[in-house]
Chain A
Amino acid sequence: MATITNKLIRLTAADPLGRQPDPWASFREIEIIELQWAQTYRHSLGKYSRFFVELENKRFLATRCPICSQVWAPPRPVCPDHLAITEWVELSGRGRVESFSILHHPSAMVPYIQPPYVLAYVRLEGADTLFAHLLRCSPAEVHIGLPVQVVYYEGPVAHPIHLMAFEPDNG
């Protein structure tokens, strides 16, 4: 007898539209197999790298357009409104919650945090955009307008964006 290591199931399918006669009657024996596909990427953080490098120094950087003075956080190397190369500026890391969601399922991207967890959109002091990140607090505590601050971690982390998160600003 032949052996197929990744065969999951063999079945006889019904016509999902219930037609009589079934136009596909001689194509209803179905076999399903399992395939695996894993890969590792070499991923440059490119012109955004300084943002991530400075998180190791517990500094939160954004970029400012030299023409319109808009401050972009997350940073953009080029202001899309002017196609101008921006300059780095440091922000305090304080801000307020503009909106949020409480997620009830684990995420493969943040395996170190147990659901329910909070994803918050934060209006940072000195920025013209909103910055999305984990807000590490009890879900019962979060509301629109909540003052928050950037907190820094030492790691180890799998992506330098996890060297930071938000926490409620109690001071």
Chain B
Amino acid sequence: MSERDVVVVGGGLTKFAAERADASVRDLVVEAVMSAVEDAGVDLHNVEHGLTSYESDHFNRQMTLGAILHDHIGMVPKPNVRVEGGGATGALALRTAFAYIKSGLCDSIIVYGGETNGKSVTSATAQQFFALSSDADWEMMVGGTYTAYYAAMMRAHMSRYGTTERQFARVAVKNRRNAQYNAHAQKPMNLTVDEVLASPPVADPYKLLDCSLLSDGAAAMILATVEWAAAHSTRWGRQPNVYFTATGCGTDTMRLGDRPHPYPGLTHFRGKREAARQAYATANITDPLHQIDVAELYDSYSGVELQAYEDLGFCEYGHGGPAAESGVFDLGGELPVNTSGGLLGRGAPVGATGIAQAIEIMLQLRGAADPRRQVPNARRGLTDTHAGTGTHCVVNIFERRD
């Protein structure tokens, strides 16, 4: 890698909600961009490149949304590119921006995105839209939904390792508890494991409270070289500096059933392990549990977080359930996970999700998160974001450098 270090100049996000009746998707992204610009202390006219992050044309009933967004934040006639990678869209957008800066194509870039997954269509239609992002002929047409695919993965994990419903319910409790300390979160809740277990079944073994949220919201982040930040940001150097130090990307087959056995089989995320391997090599991480201080994982379902602990090397294979119960990933534990509330508590407007994860890490590394969720002396943070059932996985790593 070249010496062109990439830094996080600033970031901002909207309130995430089940319905932002007060705003269209373009309103939401404009709000997030204004917030990011204020946080970064920059004049947007000086930012050289735009990068649009959104997944679906269906929810917004608008194709080429990037053209509208870029226009509405005053970035024309500067260059713009749209990135899409399913659930991993936001993280893939940041990874792409990282490459644009590393390559010298630009010294500064604003990554912005959002989605109106909340109430723009009925939740049954939303399930169908998301099912279209599985194999439409071979998985969706037989009645498959994403909840069912993930449920079959978790059922296999339970069978293979003895993982229990109580263990993954605990993740739903933890992340919604953390959301109580985040003003932007959609679903802060003070729950018990028994309440999660008693919530209505959706796709066995997953219950309603094991499932992440359909959200309206947007997020934006400005990345640049150190030299650009020093020259153009009034806040650079006046608060802890956050660097975007490593990125990894892995993939897997579209259909779960096509994956080799025993690894990943139905139980694991091979793409996540590959993404982490690349990112850890760049960041010189050999013992992630102890060398990472805070992490935002892609908890699309509560059990997915347990599976991610394993493929990201936070614990041994099969130990995700007991690790969750040990409290090591709680606030105050060795490696707090989803301090923002995650997809389960903060929410998940798809194009914004990966950016919102990175903003949480930025706040944590600056020491600027709400004190009730701030991880003391956080120096290095990780985001894990994936599409499908792990078809496209991105791991990004951020570090504080004083």
Contact = CB atoms under 8 A, between A and B. Distances in A.
A109 B22 contact: no
B15 interface: yes
A119 to B, nearest CB: 5
Is the interface on chain A under 10, 10 to 19, 20 to 34, or 35 or more residues? 35 or more
Contacts of A100: 152, 155
A133 B144 CA distance: 8
Interface string A125-148: 000011111100001000010000
B45 interface: no
B168 to A, nearest CB: 14
A17 interface: yes
Contacts of B206: 101
Residue of A72, A117, A144 with highest tally of chain B CB at under 10 A: A144
A75 to B, nearest CB: 10
A13 B22 contact: yes
A104 B143 contact: no
A108 B155 CA distance: 24
Nearest to A101: B151
Contacts of B20: 16
Contacts of B184: 17
B257 A129 contact: yes
Given A103-B148, A104-B200, A119-B142, A45 B137 contact: yes
Contacts of A24: 22
B145 interface: yes
A35 B59 CA distance: 12
Residue of A16, A117, A133, A162 with highest tally of chain B CB at under 10 A: A16
A104 B22 contact: no
Contact of B148 (A28, A32, A119, A162): A119
Interface in A26-43: 27-28, 30, 32, 35, 37
Contact of A99 (B140, B155, B202): B155
Those 5 A-B pairs whose CB atoms lie nearest each other, nearest first? A130-B257, A13-B22, A101-B151, A110-B143, A16-B15
